[in-house]
């Protein structure tokens, strides 16, 4: 029932775009996995607060105090949204990429890191200063767990280790067996961070239930505007690490030593990693989006999105030239992210045609997950290709793919137009 979304409209629903064939059409935003349109409610909340915003934490004025309250309450809202443990910290960052780089900078000495090659580059690459074990793409969720267990089995459980895993793939949309992977990590004395950039906007994420140590996500994929993200979880590694950025806000006391140097006492709270003037509107808009999603209820959101997923997959299945990319097969639980290639078509040209002829915005490329897309396409791992658009010559295998993604606010008409256009 698409009426569930009348309570959760997004911005941009009535934007019209020109078509090369003449005339114009309402834009169908089907690239939510890159950035979802902001919820109208989030925009309204921000607009209502904007006249009152002030610099948080140190201002004595009324508006500074009000903003500090909103900023600190945003932390609580996010902690509730993620069902965090009582002593978890919520750190506001710029994005998922920023959150995972922050955690990478906070790893204890000699930390081992275990990561599947299937990760988005944001979760694949930040660990380059640690001892990293890259695991091959598994072909079933069970294989993922067995592969991680096998890799962890050989290690000395007394040393620190971190597993980094995505909750839902930004390429296949498939949901990973996070709880089982967390159990495997903990059984071997490792910790686990969940990249929930694609999962959190579509599914409830419970830190307690999944038993993950940290969660990272981005505001702009969770129906809030750009510029803010979250790292939430265990306080100890964060408290023991050097601040991510050095500066005001992170430091509690700075004194000049008698030898002329400077001594610093850093905060032990989340502020330790939030140096500089915090992005109070970013934090506030994430909190607003969290409230809007839980207000509508994930049960409703998931059911509605499943209908959209089924519609798109059924439509694509009717086109013999289309191959949908998948690791775990048709029965895997998934979010509204679907990648595919079309035989005889260059994926970049196909995506450009969807835009120019139908007003549909999708994405083409390797989706910042080069190893995974190459594995799924069966292409040469050395094949050149940027995040953008590597070309397949006539008769050659595709070197890139097309991705369609959607969620709250997507009307039936958008996915129907998409399916019709592909056909
Ligand atoms: N992880 C996943 C699974 C993603 O899909 C993305 C964004 N495509 C990121 C991390 C990075 O998010 P951001 O660009 O907001 O840092």
3-state secondary structure labels for all residues of 54-71: CCCCCCCCHHHHHHHHHH
Which helix or strand (DSSP H or E) is residue 18 part of?
Answer: strand 16-18
Q: How far is the CA of 51 from the centre of ligand 1 (A)?
A: 31
Is residue 155 located within the same domain as residue 251? yes
* Total count of domains within the chain: 2
* Tens digit of pLDDT at every position of the chain (423 positions): 555 555 688 999 899 999 999 999 999 999 999 999 999 999 999 999 999 999 998 789 999 999 999 999 999 999 999 999 999 999 999 999 999 999 999 999 999 999 999 999 999 999 988 899 999 999 999 999 999 999 999 898 889 999 999 999 999 999 999 999 999 999 999 999 999 999 999 999 999 999 999 999 999 999 999 999 999 999 999 999 999 999 999 999 999 999 999 999 999 999 999 999 999 999 999 999 999 999 999 999 999 999 999 999 999 999 999 999 999 999 999 999 999 999 999 999 999 999 999 999 999 999 999 999 999 998 766 565 554 445 555 555 668 999 999 999 999 999 999 999 999
Is residue 342 located within the same domain as residue 230? no
Q: Whose CA is nearest to atom 12 of ligand 1?
A: 96
Is residue 251 located within the same domain as residue 335? no
Is residue 289 located within the same domain as residue 309? no
Is residue 208 located within the same domain as residue 308? no
Tokens of 309: 């997923």
CATH number at residue 329: 3.90.1150.10
Residue 289 · residue 311 · CB < 8 Å: no
Is residue 14 located within the same domain as residue 47? no
Query: Which range of residues forms the domain containing residue 116?
Result: 43-295
Is residue 62 located within the same domain as residue 9? no
Characterize the bridge pairing of strands 28-29 and 360-361: parallel
Residue 96 C-beta-side C-alpha neighbours within 13 Å: 32
Is residue 21 located within the same domain as residue 134? no
Residue 57 Rama label (left phi>0; alpha psi -120 to 50; beta): left
Which helix or strand (DSSP H or E) is residue 28 part of?
Answer: strand 28-29
CB of 339 sitting under 6 A from ligand 1: no
What confidence score (pLDDT) does residue 101 get? Answer: 98
Distance, CA of 211 to CA of 289 (rounded, Å): 24
What confidence score (pLDDT) does residue 143 get? Answer: 98
Distance, CA of 108 to CA of 29 (rounded, Å): 42
What confidence score (pLDDT) does residue 316 get? Answer: 98
- Using alpha carbons, select from 86, 94, 97, 92 the residue that is nearest to residue 287: 92
CB of 279 sitting under 6 A from ligand 1: no
CB of 97 sitting under 6 A from ligand 1: yes
Is residue 154 located within the same domain as residue 78? yes
CATH number at residue 227: 3.40.640.10
Calculate Rg over the CA atoms of the chain: 22
295, 310, 340: which is the final residue of a domain? 295
Residues that are catalytic? 368
Tokens 């695991």 belong to which residue?
135
Is residue 135 located within the same domain as residue 180? yes
247, 274, 295: which is the final residue of a domain? 295
Is residue 91 located within the same domain as residue 234? yes
295, 320, 349: which is the final residue of a domain? 295
Residue 308 · residue 415 · CB < 8 Å: yes
CB of 403 sitting under 6 A from ligand 1: no
Is residue 120 located within the same domain as residue 233? yes
| ipTM for the assembly | 0.99
Q: How far is the CA of 117 from the centre of ligand 1 (A)?
A: 15
Characterize the bridge pairing of strands 214-218 and 191-195: parallel
Q: How far is the CA of 122 from the centre of ligand 1 (A)?
A: 6
């Amino acid at each position: 029932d698409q009426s569930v979304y009348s309570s959760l409209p997004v911005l941009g629903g009535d934007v019209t775009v020109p078509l090369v064939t003449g005339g114009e059409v309402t834009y169908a935003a089907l690239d939510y996995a890159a950035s979802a349109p902001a919820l109208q409610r989030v925009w309204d909340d921000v607009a209502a607060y904007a006249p009152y915003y002030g610099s948080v934490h140190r201002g004595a004025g009324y508006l500074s105090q009000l903003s500090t309250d909103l900023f600190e309450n945003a932390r609580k809202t996010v902690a509730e949204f993620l069902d965090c443990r009582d002593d978890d910290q919520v750190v506001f960052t710029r994005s998922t990429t920023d959150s995972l780089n922050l955690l990478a900078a906070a790893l204890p000495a000699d930390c081992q890191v275990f990561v599947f090659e299937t990760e988005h580059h944001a979760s694949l690459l930040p660990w380059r200063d640690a001892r990293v074990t890259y695991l091959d793409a598994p072909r079933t969720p069970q294989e993922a767990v067995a592969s991680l267990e096998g890799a962890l089995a050989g290690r000395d459980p007394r040393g620190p280790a971190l597993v980094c895993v995505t909750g839902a793939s930004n390429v296949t949309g498939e949901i990973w067996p996070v709880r089982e992977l967390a159990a495997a990590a903990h059984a071997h004395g490792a910790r686990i961070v969940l990249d929930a950039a694609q999962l959190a906007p579509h599914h409830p994420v419970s830190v307690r239930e999944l038993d993950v140590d940290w969660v990272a996500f981005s505001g702009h994929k969770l129906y809030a505007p750009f510029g803010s993200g979250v790292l939430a979880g265990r306080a100890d590694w964060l408290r023991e690490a050097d601040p991510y950025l050095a500066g005001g806000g992170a430091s509690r006391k700075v004194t000049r030593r008698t030898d002329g140097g400077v001594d610093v006492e850093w905060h032990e709270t989340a502020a330790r990693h939030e140096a500089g003037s915090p992005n109070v509107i970013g934090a506030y808009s994430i909190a607003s989006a969290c409230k809007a999603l839980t207000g509508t209820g994930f049960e409703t959101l998931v059911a509605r999105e499943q209908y959209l997923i089924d519609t798109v997959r059924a439509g694509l299945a009717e086109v013999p030239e289309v191959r949908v990319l998948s690791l775990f097969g048709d029965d895997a639980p998934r979010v509204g992210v679907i990648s595919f290639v079309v035989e005889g078509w260059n994926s970049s040209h196909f995506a450009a045609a969807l835009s120019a002829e139908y007003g549909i915005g999708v994405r083409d490329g390797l989706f910042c997950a080069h190893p995974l897309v190459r594995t799924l396409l069966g292409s040469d791992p050395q094949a050149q290709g940027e995040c953008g658009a590597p070309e397949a010559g006539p008769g050659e295998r595709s070197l890139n793919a097309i991705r369609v993604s959607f969620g709250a606010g997507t009307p039936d008409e958008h996915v129907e137009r998409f399916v019709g256009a592909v056909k």
